Structure 1
């Protein structure tokens, strides 16, 4: 098998890249280890920055998002029974869109298959070879056969546990990581959500109320990293959520049927550089942000916009300067985004190791933000995302 760009992974990074390249007339094959139902069913964050919305629009794939997504103009942060309301349009002139990542993935997969472009599910990659040559290869199994896909370039978009990040020689890629000793218990509930995305820092721990639709709420509680979601009954979950959201009379948050649960273990992670030879890495394969701020999908889209621009220039002109500078171009945005998500995590969560002194500093910072438009603008600007520089 032979193609111009081999893409490993049918998550947001790999799928967006496939459409950007197809739009420019560049051949690519996407190989994905999991089945289509599995990929389309993975529940992830659902906050789309303006840059991600614009990318969908540019590709002509924004119709269902515009029809079913919900424009979000506000962000609330609660503490001590007080509320910081960030008016996103008023502070930044921008809005975000609530539209589940799995819905974006469904749209991208459907459009690629409708265009009869190669997308192989249940194609497990075993190794990559010849990355420092002119014809790198992807070795994988599909339909019971061992296959080899020869490429000009390989895009590793197969996540933190994929083979791509491990493929370069030892010592070439440096990992920077912080693992937190708490996690998020997330549920989907058939209940009317709050009007705005609402974070809460309480003495009992962090909580978040968000939405997937006007009838489905996405709700989170901070729990111990070793906790098991099966130990949380529905009654226990709702009682803790009301308490952490300062909804003492239980009249604000509407309870409903909890029909899905999952646990997200928190970490900050960056791998550098984001390329080796003819291998270019993107998305969760090279960076993971804590979920506060919902940056994962948006940062992956920014990666592949830069990657696509570099590949398009190479195929049109033969110039490799953008390809050679891909990692440096992306990492500035990556570190800024990881910094923001890490800052939010530190501001909003209860840390077991914090002393009373550190707890009071945290609450004092929230009091400052409550009374400072400048501080609110700083958070809002980073929440909606900065413009993407493709020059």
Structure 2
């Protein structure tokens, strides 16, 4: 598989499989930081005497807002100082904030620690994608991201069960201890094995003019902006589901201890989609695969619409709906990300920051709005998923000037 560039400083001894696994770990820290504590939200709320059940979701939302806010900072810094120093700094902040959350004296301090933890986690997310773009381009990047996503999805499959196991051994602050250890492990592995892919000769100065030029390039590239906006809508549906999952499956469907298993099974649909995408994208191209998946997403959304958005359909039907939606999401996400990054290789850090910031912030806000509408039924969640899918499709149609599934992406 060809590299997009071959910087002199690139390490020669890291194998492709190890590279993919490390990038997946760096990106998975955010999924782990959210999904491992879903089962602990009632205990956290009880510890701090949180009155409204919907306010539990703030533990997720606060983290995501910090995660979004940190991304515009880390990308330009990695373009200037290199990928590894910025990555190391972010991992240290992530780990220390996990400890702060574990000992927070009240709910406000807990949320503040979660914001800081998100700020730190933004660095591995931005830097990981920038590194992939430094080394790969076009369909090769989409294929690499599919393998990364396949490993990455294992985290939400296993994380709720991990959280449940931790709660059986000790109180909920132990979960943050596991997050601290995860951050420390990622710091050690990346420091020892990850190559620096931004050689000194390619680094941009942190001048107003340089940053302005890079930002202007990003926000005036039609394809990049369009697919970023579309990803924001799709992340909104994902984060709405994640934020509401504990209430939906435990409070509405009464699953109790079976919640982690059902949550993991649905997440497994995205892992299967990532494997499928890795096999298809080189042959069919990013547009054909992702556009077909988006049309499939919208077609699946027709089911609850035609049924009149029932408040509590059968559990099997609801899980099948979610699995189909997130299978489509798994085909869409790596390709939309690669399509947005493809024209911006020379400003990959800034591009990764912009794409990550917008899609995460938009997703967090939309997810919070949908989650706050929870009314002891699944109706707000399904309505939100349908709306986000339709808005994403409309955005892609505008971006592509009405032409879908054209094989025009780079080979």
What range describes the TM-score normalised by the shorter chain of this pair?
under 0.3
- The higher-RCO structure (CA 8 Å, 6+ apart) is 2
Which structure would you say has the larger Rg?
A: 1
Of Structure 1 and Structure 2, the greater helix share is in 2
Alignment TM-score, normalising by the size of structure 2: 0.25
TM-score, length-normalised on structure 1?
0.26
Name whichever structure is richer in strand by fraction. Answer: 1
